[in-house]
Structure 1
């Protein structure tokens, strides 16, 4: 079946990189904004602050399904159109959450929040596969690793934006105003990238089928390939750590370290900023200095140690010490993803790197679903935050051990 014709000139590689990174950053900011305004939002809705853990689990349950369907959607509609749909869904999800505050009882507000979370999750799931598809088609092999490393900074960059901008927006217009402001920005960006859409989506197949049976293929590929299976299991653990850090950090610092919302938000921004720097640094290290599987093992141990120490944070700890610890922990807990995805592609059978990435991300998202929910459950026990962080540390050690078995060189992707 021939692709849809288009006479539009293809933008330069740096313009494409800017567009894909902007989309990924803003969708990530939308997903990470509710944990930042969780304090005032939960008070308005009559929910405990720890309920933010269930928000992240519900978000990624929707993202898991959407990520498996992204390949078929991109084939039919084009990767940039899928990216625009992700932005629209993210904005709509935040608007529904803001609307929930107008409902008279928690019995009505809670379903509205859940619907908004699911809509946002449907937008979050396909955004990484879509941006990767676009870059793979427009980037020269000689600088592909650099371009992908920069693109992968979009998620922690979204966290930086959420941590830095949401607290002032909450002070300005309440948490509902902050949600609507980010949602509006998503809609604006969806329109701004429209001019490049015809050129970037010229490979789409308008009559490509959308079959539900295709959802299971990426999972089967991961599970029948030992190295990919170990990588997927490790990503389950590492993703649980990453999302618990991003989800609970602000609330933890407010309640346990007695920080203000603005100070806690700045720590979150520094933590996410550490992840931005870490993704690029670790990619360079994996290419030139340390075997990728060994680097992932060391990063897993670093996450475990950092989680144990972070769980002991108290009100007598200086802000600079907490901020420094958060930044260092962020380089590992948020910076591992690029090396992980490169290893998935390295071990994928020829021609199946895309399917392998989709299946691996499904397992990654599963860790995100389970991790915050488990963390929230442990917060309700007498052990509180120290126990919850210790459980995350144990999970990261298990993931680090699993990754060692994935070191044997697999087939290269074409």
Structure 2
């Protein structure tokens, strides 16, 4: 593959994954404005975010084993198209909690289809030697979404109206839809050279680790702006601070992928260490006042939400012939955490305050890191048995 084709593959992967995550992160970032117009409680906001991830779970599990049969590029177009419809509906029609909820169900289903599919798309069109960096760049789509969502607060929501944030995202999605290339005959040969048996038990343990880590991270993505406004920052400043955190996560995901290509193993140990370092950031966000807020945001975003690319890279290295299937399982864990994390965070805020909610987030980060270490041991044992029997 030449450099131009690889760059185009990475751009399409990032843009496609960004489009399907924009609906939920726009809702989280713009909540400080939407709540004023629609009279939503913090718990209702958490329910909106959780519903998005709830509808992602079954589609991730069902799509992963069938990506080759259904067609990678066809599934990507369907997912982006559904996301565009969701964004347009919220921008033009939705004016109540229930109507936005329905739109986010559609958007969540699209995201569930997209994530295992784009993993297969990326591996099928990328040289093996550079796949760590490729996954880091692809996973940078999530912080890119939160960065754009954070900037939408001061630049769009506080100037011309929150609906235009969703409208701009829909226009972006239409451009992405047009840019998805036709099916490649090379995809199957490069992406699935041999059929690999999925080792279910270790993947489930890793999925549990992802659930705790992603639950904490997505609660942060949904509530950071609201939390900082509550602590005394202006909505504009809070939006810029969220964008700064997203930029740090964006950079970390790319750098961690770059170093993963140059490191022989131990990828899951790195994931565990990042989750626990992110927990320190959550603790700092729980401290009253603004003295530690910038450090807390950067640590929580860069470490606590910068590990996804390394984890997906580690799974593809152990399941080269079942990439979409294996990552579909772990993604389901991520969605479970992303469902429960924001909902629990919203309930804790309503009843006990932001300080307690951030501390619970820190506990989630630590538990997620420990689960990664346990999953790593189980995976190594299972792979050793698989190799011995082959």
**Do the structures match in fold with TM over 0.5?**
yes
How far residue 96 of structure 1 moved from its aligned partner, in angstroms, is: 2.4
Deviations 1:78-112 (A, max 9, x none): 2222222222211211232234555xxxxxx2321
Task: Name the counterpart of 1:67.
Answer: 60
Task: Name the counterpart of 2:282.
Answer: 307
Deviations 1:389-413 (A, max 9, x none): 1112122222222222233335399
Which of 333-342 and 404-413 deviates more?
Answer: 404-413
- Say if 2:100 is the partner of 1:113: yes
CA–CA separation in structure 1 for the residues paired with 2:138 and 2:13? 7
Task: Name the counterpart of 1:359.
Answer: 329
How far residue 293 of structure 1 moved from its aligned partner, in angstroms, is: 2.9
Residues 37 and 167, structure 1, Cα contact 8 Å, conserved in 2: no
- Say if 2:358 is the partner of 1:389: yes
CA–CA separation in structure 2 for the residues paired with 1:306 and 1:58? 26
- Say if 2:255 is the partner of 1:281: yes
CA–CA separation in structure 2 for the residues paired with 1:189 and 1:260? 33
How far residue 144 of structure 1 moved from its aligned partner, in angstroms, is: 2.2
CA–CA separation in structure 2 for the residues paired with 1:246 and 1:345? 27
Task: Name the counterpart of 1:28.
Answer: 21
Report the RMSD for the aligned CA atoms in angstroms: 2.9
Q: 1:341 aligns with which of 267, 290, 312?
A: 312
Task: Name the counterpart of 2:193.
Answer: none
Change (3 A) 1:228 1:283: same
Which of 294-303 and 65-74 deviates more?
Answer: 65-74
Unaligned runs of 5+ residues in structure 1 are 1-8, 103-108, 204-219
- Say if 2:386 is the partner of 1:399: no
- Say if 2:149 is the partner of 1:162: yes
Task: Name the counterpart of 1:370.
Answer: 340
Deviations 1:61-91 (A, max 9, x none): 1111221232366335422222222222112
- Say if 2:85 is the partner of 1:85: no
CA–CA separation in structure 2 for the residues paired with 1:340 and 1:142? 17
User: Pairwise mapping of residues 9-408 of structure 1 onto structure 2 (< 5 A)?
Assistant: 12-71=5-64, 74-102=67-95, 109-191=96-178, 193-194=179-180, 196-199=181-184, 224-225=200-201, 227-256=202-231, 258-286=232-260, 287-288=262-263, 291-314=266-289, 317=290, 321-348=292-319, 351-381=321-351, 383-408=352-377
How far residue 271 of structure 1 moved from its aligned partner, in angstroms, is: 0.9
How far residue 237 of structure 1 moved from its aligned partner, in angstroms, is: 0.6
SS in structure 1 opposite 2:306? Answer: coil
CA–CA separation in structure 1 for the residues paired with 2:122 and 2:10? 7
Residues 30 and 91, structure 1, Cα contact 8 Å, conserved in 2: no
Residues 23 and 104, structure 2, Cα contact 8 Å, conserved in 1: no
Unaligned runs of 5+ residues in structure 2 are 189-196
Change (3 A) 1:201 1:248: farther
SS in structure 2 opposite 1:88? Answer: helix
CA–CA separation in structure 2 for the residues paired with 1:353 and 1:199? 17
Change (3 A) 1:181 1:136: same
CA–CA separation in structure 2 for the residues paired with 1:21 and 1:200? 22
Which of 169-178 and 114-123 deviates more?
Answer: 169-178
Residues 50 and 343, structure 2, Cα contact 8 Å, conserved in 1: yes
How far residue 245 of structure 1 moved from its aligned partner, in angstroms, is: 0.9
CA–CA separation in structure 2 for the residues paired with 1:21 and 1:304? 27
SS in structure 2 opposite 1:20? Answer: helix
CA–CA separation in structure 2 for the residues paired with 1:393 and 1:202? 40
SS in structure 1 opposite 2:376? Answer: coil
How far residue 198 of structure 1 moved from its aligned partner, in angstroms, is: 4.2
How far residue 240 of structure 1 moved from its aligned partner, in angstroms, is: 0.6
Larger radius of gyration: 1
How far residue 139 of structure 1 moved from its aligned partner, in angstroms, is: 1.4
